Amino acid sequence: MDALSCLSLLNRSSYDDCKKAADWLRNRTKQRPRVAIICGSGLGGLADLIDDKTIFPYEDIPGFPTSTVAGHAGQLVFGTLQGQACVCMQGRFHFYEGYSMQDVTYPVRIFFLLGVEILIVTNAAGGLNGSYKVGDIMVIKDHINLPGFSGQNPLVGKNDERFGVRFPCTSDAYDRNLRSLAIQTAHAEKCGSIVQEGVYCMVVGPTFETIAECNLLKKLGADAVGMSTVPEVVVARHCGLRVLGLSLITNKAVTDYDSNEKTNHEEVLATTCLRAQDLQRLVRHIVMKI
């Protein structure tokens, strides 16, 4: 990548660039979303629940990256869900695809400029907690930002106060009231037995974790591990959005050297197909009660 391309990536998160994209979208849809939903691997079916859709392929939106991973359709869907004005990101961007942290989080700043107040992030994750089962849904109560430990934080660089303060607090990254609402809704919808609450750890990927890495993450207090979500949450909180995070446990992390199990992306997508309807039902009823 040449120097000009690198500079372009770094500038993508500027206020003017984000406003240009937000204005472009605002001029092409009458929807004024209050809730934004980011769909993880294989979970794009959430967008199918939206009524009165207006769909924008990512490549048509000024400055938008394009999703390159299987299970990510690559389009922004505006409409209503249970009567609530929503925008759904059907496919996200990942650092391991070669995008910068600013690219990965570009849509979140656009959501903020569109007037979004609540961000719901979903992902497919590997279960580290021994009590978790494949197919469980974890309400994220906190995260461990491993890339951030090495300087890969989307807020690195000059701060623009129009988005948020220089040093945002993240001890409240995942809204307590939204977490409680999610758990209450799960029990009301008779799926409380598959809902957990725990800590999500982000690693860069695209390799799945080694046995030693999984055991280390467990000792750090992580209940599930994945390759997304945290940068989006950091920027959402920087912008003052309330956040609800939901992880679908698609596989059990391998922590035993005698195991013959091997994690793969096909397994992840297969599990999402089996449990996607439960997650969609949960999100639908959460949005209805917000």
In single-letter form, the type of residue at position 110 comes to I
pTM score of the predicted model: 0.89
CATH number for the region 3-289 comes to 3.40.50.1580
Q: Which pLDDT does position 7 carry in this prediction?
A: 36
Contact status, residue 77 vs residue 90, Cβ threshold 8 Å: yes
Q: Which pLDDT does position 253 carry in this prediction?
A: 84
Q: Which pLDDT does position 271 carry in this prediction?
A: 65
Which residues contact residue 227 at a Cβ distance below 8 angstroms, ignoring those fewer than 6 apart? 94, 95, 96, 202, 203, 204, 205, 206
Over the chain (290 residues), what is each successive 10-residue block's mean pLDDT?
40 82 94 92 78 92 76 81 92 89 94 97 93 94 95 93 94 96 93 93 92 95 96 97 95 78 67 76 90
Q: Is the peptide bond before 206 cis (omega within 30 degrees of 0)?
A: yes
Query: What are the structural domain ranges in the chain?
Result: 3-289
Contact status, residue 230 vs residue 214, Cβ threshold 8 Å: no
Q: Which pLDDT does position 69 carry in this prediction?
A: 59
Residues with a catalytic annotation lie at: 41, 72, 94, 96-97, 124, 227-228, 251, 265
Question: What percent of the chain is helix, strand and coil (3-state, nearest 5)?
Answer: 40, 25, 40
Q: Which among 97, 99, 37, 41 has a CA at the least distance from the CA of 263?
A: 41
Q: Which helix or strand (DSSP H or E) is residue 193 part of?
A: none
Look at strands 35-38 and 242-252 and give their pairing.
Answer: unpaired
In single-letter form, the type of residue at position 102 comes to Q
